[in-house]
């Protein structure tokens, strides 16, 4: 049986929306943009770091969300189908409006040749 922290994390993920499209709209409206294929900068991971006050780090794959809390706890839960579907679609490029533009220290856009 999941403990309270796992239940809480599941409820927060459930609140994102009932399907990938709703989740994408919420994340875009809230300004959570990230990088595809990067568990640490997935928009859902950035959302978790922002909205859950005691989370100091988060990573989200297409199967699981993991958070590290201020008290040193590590919590991992399997994603519900809606969030998993969003992550897969985001990684495939379905939501280009949610991709953050990488910039250097001067604010200049970094393209693939500069990496």
Separation between Cα atoms, residue 70 and residue 61, nearest integer Å = 21
pLDDT at residue 53 in the model:
86
* pLDDT(103) > 80: no
The pLDDT tens digits of the residues spanning 46-92 come to 999 999 989 999 999 999 999 999 999 999 999 999 999 999 999 99
pLDDT at residue 3 in the model:
83
Radius of gyration of the chain (CA): 14
pLDDT at residue 1 in the model:
42
Contact 20, 14 (CB under 8 A): no
The pLDDT tens digits of the residues spanning 4-40 come to 989 999 999 999 999 999 999 999 999 999 999 999 9
3-state secondary structure of 86: helix
């Amino acid at each position: 049986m999941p403990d309270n922290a796992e239940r809480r994390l599941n409820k927060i993920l459930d609140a994102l929306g009932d399907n990938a499209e709703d989740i994408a709209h919420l994340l875009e409206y809230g300004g959570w943009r990230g990088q595809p294929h990067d568990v640490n900068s997935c928009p859902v991971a950035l959302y978790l770091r922002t909205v859950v006050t005691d989370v100091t780090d988060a990573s989200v794959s297409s199967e699981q969300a993991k958070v590290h809390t201020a008290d040193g706890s590590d919590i991992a839960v399997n994603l519900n189908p809606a969030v998993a579907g969003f992550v897969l679609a985001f990684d495939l490029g379905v939501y280009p409006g949610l991709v953050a533009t990488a910039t250097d220290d001067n604010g200049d856009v970094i393209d693939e040749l500069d990496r």
